[in-house]
Every structure is written in C-alpha cells, then in structure tokens.
Amino acid sequence: MMGNGQNKEENKEQTKDVTIESNKEEKKKIPTIPQNAKTIIIVLGQRLLPTGKPHQWLIERIDKAYSLLTENKLDIDTTYFIVSGSDVSNFRYQQENHGKLPEPRHISEAQMMYNLMIDLHKTNNHSSDENKDEDNNNNDDTDDFGKHIILEDQAMTTTQNFFHAFQMIDASKLRNKIEQIYIVTSDFHMKRSKYNFDAMFYNNDAQIIGNSKDFKYEDRVHFAASETKWDDEKEKVEKEAKEEQYYNLVYLQQQTITTAQQLWMSLSK
C-alpha cells in the first residue's frame, strides 16, 4: 500500500509534530452541534504564521468552505461548520525561540477560522445589501450565522481533526441524523486528509455516520479542495513532494489506525 521512504530530515520534522502533540494534554468538554443539523462541513486548520496572522492556505480554505453554501444550495438553517485546529503555532514558536512563547499568545486555528468566516459573511451581506439604508445594514444576521460555526480547538494533526470532529458528532447524538458531510482542505493536502477521514469513518463493515444503505459514502461524503495560489512552481513541487512523503510514512499510518481504534472505543453505545 504505502512505503516507508523517509530520510533523517523528515524524521526530525515529524518528531517535532509528535512532541507538540504530547504537550497539549488539557481536556475540555466536547462541543456539541444543534439537533437540527443535516449537513456538516469540516474545515481543516493550518498553522498560523509566526506573527499570529492566518496563512494564505487557511484563508483559501475558509473561502472554499463558505462558497459551498451557494455552490451546493445548502440550507444554512440545517448546515453547520466544524472549524478544526488548535494553537499549534504557539508551540512551534516556543520550539524555535528557546522556550519563549509569543506575546500576545496566538489564538487557535479554529478561532481564526471563525473570525475569517464571520468577516467573509459580513462582507457578502454588505455587498448584497448595499442598496439598503444604513439602519438596515447594521441589523444583519451575523450573530445567527455565527451560531452555525462550531469551534474544535483541540486537534493538532490531520488525524486529530477527524477524531475530534467525529467525537463532536457522536456527543451530539447525530450519527444517524446527518445527511451529508463536506471536508474542506487545500488541494495538496486532500489525499492525506481523505486517508485519515476514511480510517476514522469505517470500522470493518460499520461506519461512523448512518449505515451503508441509508448513508452511501459515495453519495453523501464530499471532498472539497481549495485551490492553492503558489508563489512559483518550485514551491508547489516541494510542498507536494513533502505531502507525499508524509502520506507514505508507516509510523504515521500506524498512528492513524491507533487513533481510529481509540475513537471507535470512545463512541456512545
């Protein structure tokens, strides 16, 4: 299936990721999703820049996720976004600056995605309402829209994105109510994301949402990739090569399988 062709530099980079993972031990109550949810859009995070600002790839993912509402004529009343990602940038900054944390601390990727999506919604509302008077413009639906964005701020890896998202669905007792799921990430990251999603979604013949008769994977699960704007072809080639190396690392595959087993053991009966 996949090989183990990693070199010392890749091992060093992956060891950093594992170290970051082990430092995040605090547990929080699992956020829940309203009971009327029929469509879930899971948006995968991207580590913030050292300045604490969003990476362009994160902005592209949010743009893509928001566009799904109109592209697929989704009913916002029953559609909920799970924006998934921890404050990994704080730990990476700490590693690269002799144990010193940034001041002020960076917000989580989830919080950043929430902020970006709210800003995007405000901009779209303003554009569509530009012919209305100022009083009506101030009376928008931002608060209501914000209730459809659920923050998952514990995940520090792609595997954990899905682990925590599925735990949220289970805790909300929606496993047999969800009608469709969208997964949003960058085009270069989609292959690895799909592998992780599938590892979590299936347990032998069982699936985490519905059953194979009522919830057909090929019809109900949608992978929506944001298009990456590269600075040059060299950057694209290098990033795609690194993603392929990560995809083929055996110990990361084993880590994903172990996490999937933990997920299924944790599900409510």
Give this prediction's pTM.
Answer: 0.87
Within the chain, which residues score under 70 in pLDDT?
Answer: 1-27, 126-140
The tally of domains found in the chain comes to 1
SS3 letters for 185-198? EEHHHHHHHHHHHH
Is residue 227 domain-resident?
A: yes
Residue 26 included in any domain: no
- The answer to whether residue 138 sits within a structural domain is yes
Residue 162: predicted pLDDT: 98
Residue pair 115/185 in contact by the 8 Å Cβ criterion: no
Tens-place pLDDT, residues 75-133: 999 999 999 999 999 999 999 999 999 999 999 999 999 999 999 999 988 666 555 55
Residue 201: inside a domain:
yes
Residue numbers of the domain that contains 85? 8-21+34-266
Q: Does residue 50 have a cis peptide bond before it, meaning omega lies within 30 degrees of 0?
A: no
Q: What is the pLDDT of residue 142?
A: 87
27 is a domain residue: no
What's the confidence (pLDDT) of residue 127?
Answer: 65
| 28 assigned to some structural domain | no
